[in-house]
Amino acid sequence: MFWIINTGIILMLAVFGLVFRAGKGAFLIAGYNTASKEEKDKIDEKKLCKAVGNLFLILAVCWIVPAAGMITEKVPLLFIGGVLIVVVCIIGAVYMNNDDRFIK
């Protein structure tokens, strides 16, 4: 049962990652979605989507660790996987919100 749920999550993250990497789905990005037209015009949407897509693909790969922990019932893998996912999310958020890397 756990492998079905985890496979679905990994596939979902990978599909969203590929959609974002293709430059589509910017309306799903929090902050960008709610920005005014003037603010959106200042942002390079393709670069932003590519960065979010990369984050989703990295998270899909990271999810394999806790999934393996659930399937094999190895608690250390669950802990390591959870920490890995949190660290990747924090680094991704800092990377995307730092500097003016997505300004045209």
Please indicate, yes or no, if residue 102 is contained in any of the structural domains.
no
Stretches where the chain sits below pLDDT 50 are none
pLDDT of residue 96: 87
Amino acid at 16: F
Q: Closest Cα partner for 50 from 17, 21, 74, 18? A: 21
pTM of the model: 0.88
Residue-averaged pLDDT of the chain: 91
pLDDT of residue 3: 85
pLDDT of residue 38: 92
Cβ pair 35, 103 in contact under 8 A: no
Query: In this structure, what are the phi and psi dihedrals at residue 82, rounded to the nearest 5 degrees?
Result: -65, -45
| Number of domain units in the chain | 1
pLDDT of residue 98: 81
Please indicate, yes or no, if residue 39 is contained in any of the structural domains.
yes
* Range of the structural domain that residue 53 is part of: 2-97
pLDDT of residue 84: 95
Please indicate, yes or no, if residue 103 is contained in any of the structural domains.
no
